Amino acid sequence: MTRWSEFWKIFKEKKLGIIGIIILSCFVILAVFAPLLAPYDPSVRVAAPFLAPSARHLLGTNDIGNDILSELIFGTRISLLIGVIAAFLSISIGLLIGLIAGYYGGIIDSVLMRIVDLILVIPFLPLMIVLAAYLGPSFWNIIIVISILSWVRPARVIRSQVLTLKTKAFVESARSLGATTRRILFTHIMPGVIPLALAQFVLASSYAILVEASLSFLGLGDPFQKSWGTILYYAQARGAFLTSSWIWWILPPGFLTTLLVLGFTFTGYSLEEILNPRLRRR
Amino acid sequence: MSRFLAQKIAQYMLVIFITITINFFLPRLMPGNPLIFLAGEDVAFLTEAEKASILENYGLDKPLGEQYTIYLKNIVTGDFGYSYQKKMPIADIIKDRLPWTLLLTGSALLLSSLLGVIFGAAAAWRRGTKTDAALLIKFMFFNSMPSFWVGMILVALFGATLRWFPIFGAQKAWMPLSGWPYYADILHHLVLPLTTLVLISIPSTFMIMRYSMLNVLGEDYILMAKAKGLRENAIKYRYAVRNALLPVVTIFMLQLGYMFSGATVIETVFAYPGLGRLMFEAVVGRDYPVLQASFLIITVTVVLGNLLADLLYPLVDPKVRR
């Protein structure tokens, strides 16, 4: 392969990353300025139920007369927040476990990695459904349920990075100079792990958003803080796919979810490509 | 039996044991009356005699250790309790539902793996070209769609609007069929849920196949084959694809867990009478024992699938074969 094609490849991937960042920024703006951008309060009955789109209600109204467009705009907040908070929690746990397992090695490492192997075999979504059903539908319960199981993959990735860093000369020399374990972990190893953790965080966000959508679609989402998944739950329950209302009631929330997830995927993919030299070379 | 296999089996037994333990402790650790979590929310409608029989069945008046022994014994003997909501033993409900889920996930696993391999190999073979980029972006897009949403759109388009396919169920319950019409009817009902599950499952196989094939294409023996002047198709299929398949085989069965997660929501959309739909019904009806039993059976199925993959792997990879 020539240098040109390699250059083209990296450039293309970065372009994907830029598209990802742009998509994400749009959603953040939408979420932050939701009260200004939404034409109505999504929790208030503003018109007759099941209205088709019109100039007053661009995406019509739902089964109880809420404005669907306003629901979608406010739903951005819920879907984005749940995804990002759950991803942040999973990565924090994963970072901690990965650091401990990778740095200490030996028995601690093999016990922790055994646990990771065990958890990876269990089908995630069915277990999350069981946990969410017991805990009850709420904003924080969904976050807990997602992050309690999603830390395992990041933990593995971070552990292997720690394993490589541990053998590097600067860590060896710090140790021989008598640096404490805490100091080695936080000032020498941590900086090498953070970029990787960031890429993992971005990918975990896209995963968490999809899981949240699934759980909410199954009726496990907070009915008072409607995410896009919850909107689709009501659309399904009211049989929106049987009438033409699917075009404005079902298409938009799923499309927004896809776009948001895609934003995270593009960004994470490019980050990984840049951070992982093995991927970049090929 | 090899040591590796023995270790794997021990690990799988532990997974099932953990699942059972989670199931045991969840209803007992929740605040409030465990009777609600064991019998479902209809507990208020139960007669005193029924309540007493639940207490007796689960041994709720006994110490926790003894309860656990009773619980384990029941599960091992295939007694998952009674669904007071469906007025049926849970084991019977599961027996009705499991085959549908196996049909859906099994066929989706085969189809999506096949398509993922074909597209992955094609993309890697044309690395850096527009075809490669287009395929990559297309599958990233598929990977980002909520599975149930894809199902809802297919139902709305091909079910409700065009009326090409039925919109719910797995067969025409009111029309007893036999022979070919029976199978054709089942297939007809399967098309939409299967398409949905395949669409959202291709990307992971595609990504792995593409990456693996890219690695293989960088190997010296490919260069050697080119230098020998072998035909392009011979290099592609006999050398590259064949070797690139190994990682795909490794994850073939591991995909099963992912498949069941997808099936859970997709069955809900299509009212397909499998275990996933059963979980949804149990969530809506607060039928906790049914929820737990479905989760346990799904886990056991996934574990068995993993075991099967471990057993078959040496047949595929000559390097592991002794």
Residue B262 forms part of a structural domain:
yes
User: pLDDT, tens digit, for every residue of B272-292?
Assistant: 999 999 999 988 888 888 888
**In this structure, what CATH number is given to the domain that contains residue B145?**
1.10.3720.10
| Closest CA–CA distance from residue A169 to any residue of chain B (Å) | 30
User: pLDDT, tens digit, for every residue of A207-248?
Assistant: 999 999 999 999 998 888 889 999 999 988 888 788 888 888
**Which band of pLDDT confidence, cut at 50, 70 and 90, is reported for residue A282?**
very low
Residue B58 forms part of a structural domain:
no
B269 has a chain A CB within 8 A of its CB: yes
Number of domains in chain B: 1
Partners of B306 on chain A (C-beta within 8 Å) are 121
Q: Give the Cα separation of A84 and A140 in Å (integer).
A: 12
Partners of A114 on chain B (C-beta within 8 Å) are 11
Contacts of A156 (CB under 8 A, 6+ apart): A98, A113, A116
Average pLDDT for chain A = 86
Per the model's pLDDT, the better-predicted residue between A3 and B38 turns out to be B38
**Which band of pLDDT confidence, cut at 50, 70 and 90, is reported for residue A7?**
very low
Which residue carries 């397992």 as its tokens? A101
Q: Chain B window 52-111: which residues touch A at a Cβ cutoff of 8 Å?
A: none
Least confident of A92-96, B200-204, B239-243: B239-243
Does pTM surpass 0.90?
Answer: no
Average pLDDT for chain B = 84
Residue B268 forms part of a structural domain:
yes
User: Taking a C-beta distance cutoff of 8 angstroms, is the pair B43, B85 a contact?
Assistant: no
Partners of A242 on chain B (C-beta within 8 Å) are 156, 160, 167
Q: CB–CB of B264 and A126 under 8 A?
A: yes
Q: Which of B14, B140, B264 minimises the CB distance to A265?
A: B140
3-state secondary structure of B159: helix
- Report ipTM (2 d.p.): 0.87
The candidate with the shortest Cα–Cα distance to A80, out of A261, A281, A267, A272, is A261
Q: Give the Cα separation of B205 and B116 in Å (integer).
A: 5
| Residue pairs spanning A and B at CB distance below 8 A | 159
Residue B145 forms part of a structural domain:
yes
Residue B70 forms part of a structural domain:
no
Residue B275 forms part of a structural domain:
yes
User: pLDDT, tens digit, for every residue of B248-272?
Assistant: 887 777 778 888 888 989 999 998 9
Fold assignment, A13-281: MetI-like fold (1.10.3720)
Mutation target vs B (from A113, A152, A217; most B CBs, 10 A cutoff): A217
Q: Give the Cα separation of B274 and B257 in Å (integer).
A: 15
Q: CB–CB of B149 and A8 under 8 A?
A: no
B215 has a chain A CB within 8 A of its CB: yes
pLDDT computed for residue B238 by the predictor:
79
B171 has a chain A CB within 8 A of its CB: no
Residue B206 forms part of a structural domain:
yes
Torsion sign across C-alpha atoms A143, A148, A149, A150: positive
Residue B170 forms part of a structural domain:
yes
Domain that holds residue B153: 100-279
The candidate with the shortest Cα–Cα distance to B108, out of B204, B193, B206, B203, is B193
Closest-CA residue of B relative to A211 is B146
pLDDT computed for residue B87 by the predictor:
79
